[in-house]
Amino acid sequence: MLEVRNIQARHGLLQAVRGISFQVRRGEVLGVIGANGAGKTTLFRAITGVHTDMTGSVFLNGRDISTLRPSKRVAAGLAMVPEGRRLFPDMSVRENLQVAGEHGRPGEWTMDTVLDALPALKPVLRSLAGNLSGGQRQAVAIGRALMTNPDVVIMDEVSLGLSPIAIEGLYESLAQLKASGKTGIVVVEQDLRRATGFADRIVCMLEGLITLEGAAAELSHDDITNAYFGLDNTGGEGRVSHA
């Protein structure tokens, strides 16, 4: 569904992403892990077209969307739940969802189906987004992405700053989304256990490169922590990390 080839991205002189390629299949969850500064946010901002100082190719359902503006990539079926949520705080939850729906594609995700998948939103539909708790805001951000009827949705550290109970609720909702099998999901996650428990496949990034890639069920905790901290260059099932 989503294929990215040799993505490189810079912040001025700093090359934050140094040649990343991967695929996400229909209904698959790809977990992307990596320490602070590994380049995860820059990579996905480049893929969604928000970060423009980049090279490489992005294909969605076989179509090259590399040169499209971010809004056109959303219209093509690629949505991102950004780190930090970025809702319209003075608009109600319902309005935040409606606005997203107007910018996406028609499809199975409507106000009703999104509320079924994210039931925590039902009691706060009329509340201003700015008055919600962190967990509720995060659920709105996910609902907003779904309202665009994406083929692939990228979630950048959706559990950041949430209480353990809120994270539990959020992942229950994501499990429902996963079970629907329609949408490719990318979760960028700092919590390694959470990532390996939820994702089908794991990609680990270090200093702008992929140091490990493989089926979550087949990677050992040692493989993952070594790739995460750059302690080992064997790379387990996946790629060999840079020296």
The answer to whether residue 49 forms part of the interface with ligand ATP (CB under 6 A) is no
Per the CB < 8 A criterion, the answer to whether 105 and 148 are in contact is yes
The answer to whether residue 86 forms part of the interface with ligand ATP (CB under 6 A) is no
Closest CB to ligand ATP among residues 160, 216: 160
The answer to whether residue 56 forms part of the interface with ligand ATP (CB under 6 A) is no
Tell me, what DSSP letter sits at residue 128? Answer: B
Closest CB to ligand ATP among residues 16, 166: 16
Out of 2, 16, 81, 87, point to the residue binding ligand ATP (CB under 6 A). 16
Nearest distance, CB of residue 42 and ligand ATP, angstroms: 3
Out of 4, 28, 40, 241, point to the residue binding ligand ATP (CB under 6 A). 40
Which tokens is 155 given? 């979630």
Per the CB < 8 A criterion, the answer to whether 120 and 173 are in contact is yes
d(CA 95, CA 100): 9
Per the CB < 8 A criterion, the answer to whether 21 and 5 are in contact is yes
- Give the interface size with ligand ATP as a residue count (CB under 6 A): 11
Which tokens is 92 given? 């109600």
The answer to whether residue 13 forms part of the interface with ligand ATP (CB under 6 A) is no
| Crossing angle of helices 93-103 and 134-147, rounded to 10° | 30
The answer to whether residue 37 forms part of the interface with ligand ATP (CB under 6 A) is yes
The answer to whether residue 11 forms part of the interface with ligand ATP (CB under 6 A) is yes
* 3-class secondary structure, 55: strand
Closest CB to ligand ATP among residues 149, 159: 159
Residue 120 CB neighbours (<10 A): 20
**Which residues contribute to the site for ligand ATP (CB under 6 A)?**
11, 14, 16, 34, 36-42
